[in-house]
């Protein structure tokens, strides 16, 4: 009998490798036609070469019979291990297990939203109040300019009226532990500074320095006489020093008018400060945005517009008055209006801080006059320095 797998002159396989004439033969793979031996699974993995070991492949049916039994070993029929995933290659990658299946992603824990800092309620802008404060700034500037044209004694009385308003506004707005001592020391310093600037024959600021030193000593003795707590004494003493320095700064205006170009610089400075403060307040009526702070009812647009219009007003005043020019007038206006708007804005921050601390407000009109009065007070020595530079 001819061996199974021997080809001869006629084909002996049909279809899936079944031998013709032999019933119920196991289907086999392709034959290694050089020797008529059917290739097993390992032979196919090696490119069709038979197993060179003696006895044949144990996974074949009978050794040397050429008939291959189907292998039941999954490792024998498994292909090469899947390659690692990469560009254009399937396999294992991120989020996949060893078998190549995608791993379910673990749900991420929701992040807790960051708690916003509690900055307190937004303080609304009171439009009528802003209009009134802007008008007061213009009125105060006009009164100082008109008073400077009077006699020296008359101008000193006008300045003393502004000093009294300053003492009242800052004492009420600051709310010190001993307001009586602060008010009394401030009024005494205002009266002493008015007398001190008129006594010397030659105008000088030296007497004002003595008044400031005397006011500081009076504040210390007054606070110690009350026998209050250390914290209350420190706070009240600080407010007293600010009030004394403010009223003595306003006393620089009568000295300024006695300097060369003093009247011209005074007119230019007061015009710039009055127009700048009024513009800054009136811009808050139109649009108080962007807000500088939620607790401060002011807008940065008004502050910038006030500084610009104050500088322009100084340039116009320098053009109109004799002895100055538009450039020097603009520089003078820019210097004083920057100080004015910063002091005015700083008083708003101070009032907001006292409100957040829980201090009860008192005499709202005096508290809101604190800004313009403080601006004019601290502009006075700056104007004196500018006059000394320009002469």
The domain locations on the chain are 1-44, 125-148+258-391, 166-256
- Nearest to residue 26, comparing CAs of 62, 1, 2? 62
The answer to whether residues 366 and 173 touch, using CB atoms and an 8 Å cutoff, is yes
> Which pLDDT score, from 0 to 100, does residue 63 have?
43
Could you report the per-residue pLDDT of 150-162, keeping only the tens digit for each? 888 899 999 999 9
Report the alpha-carbon distance of residue 246 to residue 169 in Å, rounded: 11
To which residue do tokens 């700034």 refer?
137
Q: What is the pTM of this model?
A: 0.66
Report the alpha-carbon distance of residue 332 to residue 328 in Å, rounded: 6
Q: At 274, list the tokens.
A: 């009055």
Cβ neighbours around 191 below 10 Å, total = 15
> Which pLDDT score, from 0 to 100, does residue 340 have?
94
The more confidently predicted of residues 167 and 291 is 167
Helix, strand or coil, per DSSP, at residue 178? coil
Could you report the per-residue pLDDT of 261-301, keeping only the tens digit for each? 889 999 999 999 999 999 999 998 888 778 888 888 888 88
């Amino acid at each position: 009998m001819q061996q199974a797998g021997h080809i001869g002159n006629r084909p002996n396989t049909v279809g899936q490798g079944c031998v013709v004439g032999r019933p119920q033969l196991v289907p086999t793979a392709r034959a290694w036609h050089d020797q008529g031996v059917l290739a097993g699974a390992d032979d196919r993995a090696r490119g069709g070469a038979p197993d060179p070991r003696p006895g044949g492949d144990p996974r074949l049916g009978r050794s040397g019979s050429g008939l291959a039994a189907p292998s039941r070993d999954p490792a024998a029929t498994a292909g090469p291990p899947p390659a690692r995933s990469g560009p254009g290659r399937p396999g294992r990658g991120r989020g996949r297990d060893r078998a190549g299946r995608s791993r379910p992603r673990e749900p991420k824990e929701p992040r807790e939203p960051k708690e916003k800092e509690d900055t307190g309620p937004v303080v609304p802008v009171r439009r009528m109040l802003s209009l009134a404060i802007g008008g007061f700034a213009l009125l105060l500037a006009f009164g100082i300019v008109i008073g400077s044209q009077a006699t020296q004694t008359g101008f000193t009385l006008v300045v003393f009226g502004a000093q009294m308003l300053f003492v009242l506004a800052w004492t009420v707005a600051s709310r010190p532990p001993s307001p009586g001592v602060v008010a009394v020391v401030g009024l005494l310093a205002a009266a002493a500074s008015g007398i001190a600037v008129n006594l010397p024959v030659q105008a000088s600021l030296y007497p004002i320095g003595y008044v400031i030193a005397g006011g500081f000593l009076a504040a210390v003795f007054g606070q110690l006489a009350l026998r209050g707590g250390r914290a209350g004494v420190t706070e009240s003493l600080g407010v007293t020093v600010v009030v004394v320095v403010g009223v003595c700064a306003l006393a620089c205006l009568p000295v300024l008018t006695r300097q060369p170009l003093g009247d011209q610089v005074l007119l230019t400075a007061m015009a710039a400060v009055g127009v700048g403060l009024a513009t800054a307040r009136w811009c808050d009526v139109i649009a108080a945005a962007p807000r500088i702070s939620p607790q401060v009812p002011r807008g940065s647009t008004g502050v910038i517009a006030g500084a610009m219009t104050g500088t322009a007003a100084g340039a116009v005043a320098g053009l109109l008055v004799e002895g100055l020019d538009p450039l020097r007038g603009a520089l003078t206006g820019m210097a004083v209006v920057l100080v004015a708007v910063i002091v005015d804005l700083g008083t708003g921050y101070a009032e907001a801080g006292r409100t957040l601390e829980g201090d009860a407000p008192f005499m709202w009109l005096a508290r809101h006059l604190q800004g313009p009065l403080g601006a004019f007070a601290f502009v006075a020595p700056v104007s004196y320095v500018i006059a000394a530079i320009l002469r």
